[in-house]
Amino acid sequence: MPQNRTILHVDLDAFFASIEQRDHPHLRGLPVIIGGKPDQRGVVSTCSYEARRFGVRSAMPLTEAYRRCPHGVFLPGDMAKYRAASRQVFAIFHRFTPAVEPISIDEAFLDLTGCTGLFGDPETIARKIKELIVKEVGITASAGIAHNKFLAKIASDLQKPDGLVWIKPEQVEEVLHPLPIERLWGVGPKTAAKLNNLGIRTIGDLARFDQQLLARALGAVTAQQLHQLANGIDQRPVLTQDEIKSMGHEHTFAEDTADLDQVLAVLLRLSEKVGRRLRREKLQGRTVALKLRYHDFTTLTRHASLREATSLDQDIYQASRKLLLKVYNGQPIRLIGVSVQNLSRGAIRQLSFLDDATHAKQKKMAQAMDQIKNRYGENSITYASGIDLISNRPDNEP
């Protein structure tokens, strides 16, 4: 890996809300909240900057959002439309470099190392990309430039919306150190509490902290990772689509649950989403991984190898269900995730002389469901047990 990389992080501003404001001019300047009707159980998936002024945030329950912003415009959202816009944006990225790593529908890393000779310095490229997004898609984006992914992401967040920030190596300390430690990758509420106990509140505090003492509190591996990040060091490469190692979805329950039926329904819904994405990318995987987080944050992952690579919802669901039933200890579950790994294109299929009707039917069903979703949106069809789970909020992609 080259020592001096140039990484660009692009994050679309209030993506879903911006698209609605683009298509419905009367919504411009109004607090727009995407996620559903305020009386529905569910959470905010995106809200416009106007809504953020009233304290509305992503992932906030809709009822709470309504309490804070009763005059807001609540919309269910239209994933098919957002996905189309997202594709336009990613096509723009690809005009500049093939090294695009999508993080989600509205966010990506671009490795610009080696592109600068072609298109000008990184700042020029970032400005061009932002202009093209405004011109061709009609929304704004925030961009961050740095010599690694972590800093690029921090940078894009510094001047939202419509921002452009370049963190140069000599500025790392000045920009990074005053930020709260929660901004570090991998620091959630639990780690943050531990760090606070050590008197660490900012990234700077952590960077200066004795690594051995840190290792005692967090374990050597985590300690080293966080210490490096705090010093602005991040070696992770930009992974393009072709190098995607796994594809997965996770779901955090609104309330921890020990209701196995509910968990299984979510598992099927997640399997459906993973299968859909695999098929869209023409990928198949041979390993299914289940991630389970209990109410006390104990987290475990289990893997199962399939006899053949698959992209079928039912194969993914059956394998992950088996794993779940094997490990589940009856405690309330906070989060469940399923992913498919060991991915390949053009998989090899073992032919059978027995009637393979089940598999053929499942394949046909997947094709039919995909066609319906392509035409009428992601929530137009699902399995019966997942019908209550349909929401416009995309489950978090880890």
Task: State the DSSP code for 395.
Answer: P
**Crossing angle for the helix pair 15-23 and 79-96, nearest 10 degrees?**
110
Q: Taking the CB of residue 253, how many other CB atoms lie within 10 A of it? A: 17
Residue 179 binds another protein (CB under 8 A): no
CA–CA gap between residue 375 and residue 369 (Å, rounded): 10
Q: How far is the CB of 322 from another protein (least distance, A)?
A: 11
**Helix, strand or coil, per DSSP, at residue 286:** strand
Q: Which of 4, 197, 212, 352 binds another protein (CB under 8 A)?
A: 352
- Lookup: tokens for 268: 């099927």
Residue 347 binds another protein (CB under 8 A): yes
Piece of 69-77, 106-114, 348-356, 385-393 that binds another protein (CB under 8 A): 348-356
Q: Which entry of 20, 50, 101, 107 is annotated as an active-site residue?
A: 107
Residue 95 binds another protein (CB under 8 A): no
Q: Which of 212, 350, 357, 375 binds another protein (CB under 8 A)?
A: 350
Give the nearer residue to another protein in terms of CB position, either 86 or 310: 310
Residue 349 binds another protein (CB under 8 A): yes
**Nearest of 228, 385, 242 to residue 317 by alpha carbon:** 385
Piece of 38-46, 152-160, 194-202, 343-351 that binds another protein (CB under 8 A): 343-351
Interface with another protein (CB under 8 A), residue total 10
CA–CA gap between residue 291 and residue 57 (Å, rounded): 27
Give the nearer residue to another protein in terms of CB position, either 148 or 311: 311
* Residues from 249 through 278 that contact another protein (CB under 8 A): none
Residues facing 101 on adjacent strands = 109
CA–CA gap between residue 112 and residue 93 (Å, rounded): 10
CA–CA gap between residue 180 and residue 315 (Å, rounded): 43
- Residue keyed to tokens 């600068």: 116
Residue 197 binds another protein (CB under 8 A): no
Piece of 110-118, 139-147, 267-275, 340-348 that binds another protein (CB under 8 A): 340-348
CA–CA gap between residue 187 and residue 182 (Å, rounded): 5
- Helix (H) or strand (E) segment spanning residue 293: strand 283-294
Piece of 116-124, 165-173, 291-299, 352-360 that binds another protein (CB under 8 A): 352-360
Contact 61, 74 (CB under 8 A): no
Q: How far is the CB of 349 from another protein (least distance, A)?
A: 5
- Lookup: tokens for 354: 């027995």
Residue 348 binds another protein (CB under 8 A): yes
Piece of 121-129, 257-265, 353-361, 378-386 that binds another protein (CB under 8 A): 353-361
Residue 233 binds another protein (CB under 8 A): no
CA–CA gap between residue 6 and residue 297 (Å, rounded): 36
Give the nearer residue to another protein in terms of CB position, either 141 or 312: 312
Residue 364 binds another protein (CB under 8 A): no
Give the nearer residue to another protein in terms of CB position, either 242 or 388: 242
CA–CA gap between residue 308 and residue 257 (Å, rounded): 33
Residue 41 binds another protein (CB under 8 A): no
Residue 357 binds another protein (CB under 8 A): no
Contact 235, 328 (CB under 8 A): no
CA–CA gap between residue 163 and residue 145 (Å, rounded): 11
131 flagged as catalytic: no
Give the nearer residue to another protein in terms of CB position, either 171 or 240: 240
Q: How far is the CB of 2 from another protein (least distance, A)?
A: 23
Which residues sit at the interface with another protein, rule CB under 8 A?
346-354, 356
Instruction: Give the residue numbers marked as catalytic.
Output: 107
